[in-house]
Every structure is written in structure tokens, then in C-alpha cells.
Amino acid sequence: MDSIAITGGARLNGTIPISGAKNSALKLMAASILTDQPLLLTNMPRLADTKFLGRLLEELGVQVSEREGAEGQETLFHAAALTSTFAPYDLVRQMRASFNVLGPLLARTGEAKVSLPGGCTIGARPVDLHLQALTAMGAEIELDEGYVIARTPHGLKGAEIEFPFVSVGATEHALLAAVLADGVTVLRKAAREPEIGDLARCLTAMGARIEGIDTDELVITGVGSLGGAEWSVIPDRIEMGSYAVAAAMTGGEVRLTKTRPELMTALGEKMIEAGVEVTPTADGVIVKRDPAVRLKAVNVATEVYPGFATDLQAQFMALMTTAEGDSVIHENIFENRFMHAPELARLGADIHVQAGEAVVHGVTALHGAQVMATDLRASVSLVIAGMAAQGETTVGRVYHLDRGFERLEEKLSACGAEIRRVRDDDHEH
């Protein structure tokens, strides 16, 4: 397994272009199933996750062709004729978002057999809200040996669906199915993440009729068929936030481009409170910190959008490890999302975790060590901390990083970070 070796202490100075959003690209890819016309996605990130889903789409009969376009990376999806409605465990387990092919397959063909993600029980990683939404639209669903077998003998019908709590995945899944359903579907307590707005706008460009985009109530009037479209994937706000934190932590000045300032409003406010300069620009933000002045400790609580993103919690915790004072971090979205805390402690951080709360007591310096990535967002927090630590840090299990960060070492090296990937076959220790 590859690892990343970092020599800490270098300030980041320069420009980092932000890639297309992983969390949007995956759902837009699933939308290609809904039409027999080509869907061209521009500003496409090249990630392990998009590769996995591309492979699954090809299994279903979608033609997938990656290429370089005038605006950078793009991928053309063409599901002229679907050859299969079966999404096997081997392909779905590698990435949870693959489960979202279920709704589009049902909407277009009236049947699907899709593995539960990671073979998990329904309760632990709840896809039950996804299934309830599809059932409300008239799908007949049975579970058999880890697979969801779904049929719509009379086609999908519009329905009124109120989610018991805000779920990004279930909102997106219901939206993907409802665009071809017969009649009007109303989604109440819908999630409002920018990636959902991106999906809704792309579907609209394909001919869907959706009202209430960016609000918590979506009204979808089903249409008989969708056409093709060309769509640019929204910038990745989590990548943007991660590099913003990296610039603040190392005490440099970094210009983040190809993005939009409003995508990191909640994080930006907290960073300003901590003593970081965050200046909006026409195509992003400039993040700057005077390394001579110590950061101030700030409390944060993760919330559904537009609140502070759970996917930026690990990165912010890394930032707080060297701030002056104590910061309290509340994780309200996912349980078990402080797995990075013991790894940050290996670098010298002073963190006490109890249930959904972590108290970070700022230390004057971190020191390099060997650490292990536990999940995608945790892994980047360790890279950020390693860049600010004194000496050498090695981050293991970086396949987690490759799921969501494109050319991470390249982007950071260009700004002066001393960071390199150590391949398995380098036999370096």
C-alpha cells in the first residue's frame, strides 16, 4: 500500500486549482442511465471513486469515454441501450454511492437488482430512506442475500415524501427516480447541499421539470423521457476547504481558483474567527495567515448544509491542534467520526474525545510521526497536520485519499510543500 512522506515546516505559497466535486460527479454519472442520449460531464475529477462507478456503468451497458476537452477533463456517458440491470456486490461494495444506480435503473427499465453497499445491514448505513422513497413511488422491493431486488409493475408514480431527517443520499436518489415518474413528486425535508442543486440543474438541462431547487422542498413533475446535455461539475467544496485549512495551518498564502467563495462560507467564518485572512476573489478565495501570530481556538459543531460540513471536521480539528486555548468540536452528523483524533495525538496533539464531542487543547508544536489514514477526510487531516509538524511524517493507507483528492501531492508541491508518494515497490521505510 502506498504511503505519503512529508517533511514539515514549509509554508504554502501559490495557487491551487480546485477540481470538480466528487460528491456531485458520482450522482451526475448515475443520471446518465436515465436517457438514451449522450451526457457530457466537463470539469470531471479523476478519482478512484469515479473510476469504480464508471466500471459499474459499463457493466450496465453505458459507454464511458474519458477525454481532454477545451476546459480540461471531461467524460462522455452514453446509455443508448442498457444491457443489464444487475449491480453486483463486487462493484457496489467498493463505493457506497454506486447504490444510487437503483433509482435510475428502475425509472428507465422498471427493474433492478443492486447489492446493498458494503454488504452492510440496512440499519448501520441507512439506505432504508432510499428504499422507502422508491416504495412510496410504487416500487416493489424485496431483500435477498444482501441484494435489493426491485420492480415497478405499473411504472413509478409521483408521491409525496417527507424524510424523517435530512439525508443527502436519499434526497438525491429520490430525485433521480422521480424525474421519470408519472405525475408529481414532492420531497419535503430535502437536503440542500450545493451538489444536490448541481444534480437538479443538470437534470433540468436534460429536460426534467424540477421546482424549489436549493430549498428543502423539491417539486418534480415527471416527464416521459430525458435528453442528453453537457454539464460542468460544480467545484469540490471539501477539497477547497481542505486546502484552505492547509494554507492556514502552515502559515502561508494560497490562492484557490476555479471555485466559488460561497461554497466555503461556514468554514471561512470559523477560520476568520481563528485569525486567518480569507478574501473572496472572482474565481475563488485567497487564504493567508501570518505565521508569527498564533491561531485562536474556536468551537465548531457540524450541521447539515448550510452549516459546518462534517466532511471538514477532521481538517478543522487538525488546524485547532496548534491554536491557543481549548476548542470544542461537536460531531452531529456521523457517529464514529473522530477516528483521526488518536492519529493526530501521535503527532503530539492533545485531544480528548467523549461520545460526539472532542476537546482540543492547543499545543505549541506538532512533531512528525508515522500515522495511519482511517477514512477519506481523516487522511487529509493527517497530511495537513504533517505539513505543519516538525520533522518527518509518514501517512499510511493513502488509498483513502485517492478516493476523493485528485493529484494531491502535485497540487501541494507546487505551493512549496515537501511531500511525496512512496510506492509499495519503492521498499522505503
The grid coordinates listed for 357 are: 464531542
8 A C-beta contact, residue 4 and residue 420: yes
**Pair 228, 208: CB distance under 8 Å:** no
Q: Which three cell numbers stand for residue 372?
A: 495511519
Sign of CA dihedral 346, 347, 352, 356: negative
Name every residue whose Cβ is closer than 8 Å to that of residue 290 and which is 6 or more positions away in sequence. 251
289 labeled part of a ligand binding site? no
Q: Is 216 annotated as a binding residue?
A: no
The answer to whether 128 is annotated as binding is: yes
Alpha-carbon dihedral of residues 409, 42, 283, 398, nearest 10 degrees? Answer: -20
Residue of 59, 69, 120, 132 marked active site: 120
Q: Is 23 annotated as a binding residue?
A: yes
157 annotated binding-site participant: no
Residue 41 CB partners (closer than 8 Å, separation 6+): 20, 25, 28, 29, 74, 75, 76, 77, 231, 232, 233
Half-sphere exposure of 152 (CA within 13 A, CB side): 28
Which three cell numbers, joined as nine digits, stand for 234? 460544480
Is 415 an annotated catalytic residue?
Answer: no
Does the annotation flag 424 for ligand binding?
no
Q: Hey, which residues are catalytic here?
A: 120
Known binding-site residues equal 22-23, 96, 125-129, 311, 333
Known binding-site residues for phosphoenolpyruvate equal 22-23
